[in-house]
Amino acid sequence: MSENVHGWSTDEVVELLWKVDLFNGLPMDDLRGIAGIVGGTSIEAGEVLFEEGDPGDAFYIVFKGAIEISKLRADGTREKLAVRRAGEGFGEMALLNDAPRSAAARATEATQLMSVSREDFEKLLGGDSLALRMMQGLSKALRALGVRFASVEKIHDVGARLRVDAYEISRVMQAGMLPSTAPRVEGFDVAAGTTTEDSGRGASVWDWVVLGDGRTALLTLDVRQDGFPPAHHLGAARAVLRGLAADHATLPQLLAKANEALSAAAIEGLDQFVEVGILVLGPQGVEWASAGRVPGGVIRRDGTFEEFGAHGPPLGMMGGFKYNVQSLGMGAGDTAFVLSHASSGLFMGAADLMAQLHGKPAGEVVSTLHKAIRKAQGDLRTETSVLYARRH
């Protein structure tokens, strides 16, 4: 193994940390702090990173390649539990205590890893609010890890057919949640939509609600994690947000209340959290708030672009979180848009395309964007929700 030989920039490290569920929703300053203690390790195909029972002293994130996680059965055979690829983390227990590794990790191809040692992580915590947020996330990750190890035999026995049936149900539920038309908002041309796939998971929808002060809010809801039918979580989050909207005029309060409700109702071991983007249209422009990493921004008529920020963790991940809001003024011809999820490259490509579609009808813009997204995704298509609002 070779240590710290990759020379990643801070921005590259932050971009990868941002994709890891364990760090999802942390402010940019916190992510940069963690990036400052990240080390690098390279291992060859077939090389063992650690064995079950080894001391745990670091958390890893795959930068490039693949790591197979496995556990030794009582009969002496080895059971594959998971494969971690680029942007996925493993070994989170090591950041919390010095317990032995509960599984082995081996590279299935030449692999580059980012690592965070427990010693450096403990120094970083230093008693500030990052400690509380991370420990809450770690506790949930540990509980889920135990459930996955305990139930892996049952998962294998169920078979692929049950998964297919579950997704069929999820797609039916998804179709029932999608609005038939976009709302009419004075001063704006509004359009929205969700791509659906015949083999999709039913994991994304868009919606709209009226807040307590009469303003219209557009929403995207998206479940990234696999497992339980995603539309179950979408439906729960959608119902909670709709039920709370009329009594709340501020987005931080609305998200905080919804997060508390979903956190309290969470089922142990089902770590499927709902990422929500909320775009409120008003006379002065737009307000934006998000639970999770939801890409969006405003394209000015002169071609300049202002990207929306991330304001907290996905709904249901951790209770007690206080969300933030971002306000952006909009003039005639300015456009706000949101994608339920996208890689940084796909997102910037979407922004460039929308700038070229200036003046086209709102519905045509969303339809064109959906076609471009599906083409860019190729055979790895995922359902994507789009919000679009252009100021008159």
Sheet holding 274-282, edge to edge: 204-210, 216-223, 274-282, 285-291, 326-329
* Residues 216, 208 contacting (CB under 8 angstroms): yes
Pairing status of strand 385-391 against strand 296-299: unpaired
Q: Please write the tens of the pLDDT for every residue from 190-202.
A: 999 998 888 788 9
Higher local confidence (pLDDT), 107 or 5: 107
Q: Indicate if the pLDDT at residue 299 is higher than 80.
A: yes
pLDDT at 98: 65
pLDDT at 8: 77
Higher local confidence (pLDDT), 167 or 26: 167
Q: Please write the tens of the pLDDT for every residue from 93-117.
A: 677 666 678 789 999 999 999 998 8
Query: How far, CA to CA in Å, does 336 sit from each of 64, 215, 245, 299?
Result: 34, 16, 21, 6
Q: Please write the tens of the pLDDT for every residue from 324-376.
A: 999 999 999 999 999 999 888 888 888 888 888 888 899 999 999 999 988 88
- Domains parsed from the chain with CATH numbers: 2-158 (2.60.120.10), 166-391 (3.60.40.10)
Question: In the Cβ-directed half-sphere of 108, how many Cα atoms lie within 13 Å?
Answer: 14
pLDDT at 173: 84
Confidence of residue 136 (pLDDT cuts 50, 70, 90): very low
The pTM score is 0.61
Q: Indicate if the pLDDT at residue 20 is higher than 90.
A: no
pLDDT at 238: 92
Strand partners, 281: 216, 286
The tokens for 10 are: 């801070």
Query: Phi, psi at residue 83, to the nearest 5°?
Result: -125, 125
Q: DSSP string covering 5-73, please?
A: -S---HHHHHHHHHHSGGGTT--HHHHHHHHTT-EEEEE-TT-EEE-TTSBP-EEEEEEESEEEEEEE-
The tokens for 92 are: 């989170």
pLDDT at 194: 94
Q: Indicate if the pLDDT at residue 75 is higher than 80.
A: no
Task: Please provide the average confidence, as pLDDT, over all residues in the chain.
Answer: 82
Beta strands in 48-162 (DSSP E): 48-50, 58-64, 66-72, 78-85, 89-90, 104-107, 111-117
Q: What's the whole-number mean pLDDT along residues 49-74? A: 88
CA neighbor of 9 nearest in space, from 63, 84, 57: 63
CA neighbor of 25 nearest in space, from 310, 275, 306: 310
Strand partners, 150: none
Question: Residues 319, 275, 143, 92: is their CA dihedral positive or negative?
Answer: negative
Contacts of 293 (CB under 8 A, 6+ apart): 18, 19, 24, 25, 275, 310, 341
Q: Which residues of 220-249 are buried (b: 16+ CB within 10 A; e: fewer)?
A: bbbbbeebbbbbbbbbbbbebbeebbeebe
Query: How far, CA to CA in Å, does 289 sit from each of 9, 31, 165, 256, 323?
Result: 28, 19, 34, 11, 8
Q: Please write the tens of the pLDDT for every residue from 145-186.
A: 444 444 444 444 444 444 555 677 788 888 889 998 899 999
**Cα(307)–Cα(277) distance, rounded to whole angstroms?**
13
